[in-house]
Chains A and B, each alone.
Chain A
Amino acid sequence: MSAGQLFGQALINGILISGIYALAASGLALAFGVVKFLNLAHGEFLMLAAYLGIFLFSSYGLDPLLMTPVVFTLFFILGAVYYKTLVKPVLKAGELNQLLLTFGISIFLQNLALILFGGTIRTISVPYRTHTISFWGINFGTARLLILLLSIVLLVGLYQVLQRTRVGRSIRAVSQEPEGAALVGIDSEAVYLIALGIAVGFASVAGMMLSIIFHAEPMVGFNFTLKGLAVVVMAGLGNVYGVIWASLILGISESFIGVYLPNGTGWSGAIFFLMILGGLIIRHSRVSEV
């Protein structure tokens, strides 16, 4: 493989993985931007969906990607229930309490998965898992390509909904000016419910993708919460639109470090830390303490 091809391959791999990051992070960003709720248990929904994907394929032979509409709907409802039962009671209780609550839920779900499914890594092999398409000596994994396309479709769909529909306008209104939105008669309660439903739904789709190209294990979700946080922080907390390029930066820089640094795949796990720290310090320094 030539140097140019190696570079191209690293770039392509980074781009291919960033779709899944964008999907996971956009849910986090939506929940934070609209509901002002930082959900540390976000990744656990991803993890649960990954297990579901594996279960569906191994028990019934259903392809996880084809099942996304069903799973999305299911998790949308789960997200709405999650909002009603756990999120709503602490919305007024201060952000640190929210943080501790969702962290508690995250620990609970991780260990529940550990008890139910054990600590072993589970994988499935869909027929196209190892299939690749080659252009100019650069390999495109078919599964990853499909996943990227699906992510693009979903994200474009989300932006269209936010921009063009009545629901989307309500969501944007509530995220920018909750009191003002209430004054013009927008039911913020319903908007929060929908936003969290979409957030959890997107997480579930990302989880289905994980089951195809990666694996399921109890801790896999938390990793995505952290990476999602890195993306969201870099994009500007709550900024759904910035998620795309921030995900690309995360995916591509991880990929390059994996390829060019000695023993780089291990180090790529540290990239998100720099993104979080850098992003936070540049964007969210304590300006005034009043």
Chain B
Amino acid sequence: MEILKIENLKKRFGGVKAVDGLSFSVREGEILGIIGPNGAGKSTLFNLLCGLMPLDAGRITFSGEDITSLSPHKRCHMGIGRTFQICQPFKELTVLDNVAIAAVFGNSKTVRPWVVKKYSEEILEKVGLSIKKDLYPAHLTTPDLKLLEIARALATSPKLLLLDEVMAGLLPGECDRILKLIRCINREGITVILVEHVMRVVRELCERVIVMNYGQKLCEGCYEDVAGDKRVIEAYLGREETGAQ
């Protein structure tokens, strides 16, 4: 069963084609990895998927419904959750309130006002931030901020979770912790799309990988297949240096 299908997606900024005729679909319950060199259009793709940017052309179908022109909060209510590559915590709010806002406004299943606190605490428990629930984001470390991003997205009860480089800037040990968390989230039935530069994470988590370059799909397959693909190596390293791996 496919949960998300995008057809011929296009977005340009001035003369730059950030996303150029991209099509793929995502099966329910899978973890899909999207990799590609910097500037390949991965973050733009996420912005188009969650509705933060209008697209120039194409069609996005989620759970069988056309969501191409829906606003971000409606997509959130339908079950698309996301994290930001550059963490965007709400500075004036505590960690608990950061999660509570997603529970109150973003959850399709109504979370009753009197259970919001308990519900948010459970989410923080799950990601392992409960002891820091009363702190302000300014006092959190980078890995904690990443966990907060994930916790907020989870509080909206997503069916599909878009993770934008959650591992960037983390130490290997910290990566393992988040890796486990993602696996756990996926086992609960949440489909995950992962934009990632840390190849180890992609290899361990993703059943299927899409490689993007210049806004287009370069190739698609399991990690081993795409990692060995000549075009992919060229895209990352340049044409002259094939075989450098």
- Are A and B close enough to touch in the complex, i.e. CB under 8 Å? yes
Confirm or deny: B170 has a beta carbon within 8 angstroms of a beta carbon on chain A.
no
Contact: A287 with B47, CB < 8 Å?
Answer: no
Q: In the complex, which of the residues A288, A289, A290 has the most CB atoms of chain B within 10 Å of its own CB atom?
A: A290
Confirm or deny: B53 has a beta carbon within 8 angstroms of a beta carbon on chain A.
yes
Instruction: Produce 1/0 per residue, B80-116, CB < 8 A to A.
Output: 0000000000000000000000000000000000000
Instruction: Produce 1/0 per residue, A218-229, CB < 8 A to B.
Output: 000000000000
Interface size on B, residues (CB 8 A): 4
Instruction: Produce 1/0 per residue, A20-45, CB < 8 A to B.
Output: 00000000000000000000000000
Residue of B nearest to A289 (CB): B52
With the chains together, A287 CA to B47 CA distance in Å?
A: 12
Q: Shortest CB–CB separation between residue A225 and chain B, in angstroms? A: 31
Confirm or deny: B221 has a beta carbon within 8 angstroms of a beta carbon on chain A.
no
Confirm or deny: B143 has a beta carbon within 8 angstroms of a beta carbon on chain A.
no
Q: Shortest CB–CB separation between residue A25 and chain B, in angstroms? A: 26
Residues from chain B with a CB closer than 8 A to the CB of A288 are 47, 52-53
Residues 233-290 of A at the B interface (beta carbon under 8 Å): 287-290
Residues from chain B with a CB closer than 8 A to the CB of A287 are 53-54
Q: Shortest CB–CB separation between residue B47 and chain A, in angstroms? A: 6
Contact: B54 with A290, CB < 8 Å?
Answer: no
Residues from chain A with a CB closer than 8 A to the CB of B47 are 288, 290
Q: Shortest CB–CB separation between residue A282 and chain B, in angstroms? A: 16
Residues from chain A with a CB closer than 8 A to the CB of B53 are 287-288, 290
Give me the interface of B with A, judged by CB distance under 8 Å: 47, 52-54
Q: List 9 A-B contacts (CB under 8 A).
A: A287-B53, A287-B54, A288-B47, A288-B52, A288-B53, A289-B52, A290-B47, A290-B52, A290-B53
Which 6 interchain pairs have the tightest Cβ spacing?
A288-B53, A290-B52, A288-B52, A289-B52, A290-B47, A287-B54
Besides the known contacts A287-B53, A290-B47, 7 further A-B residue pairs in the complex with CB atoms under 8 A apart: A287-B54, A288-B47, A288-B52, A288-B53, A289-B52, A290-B52, A290-B53
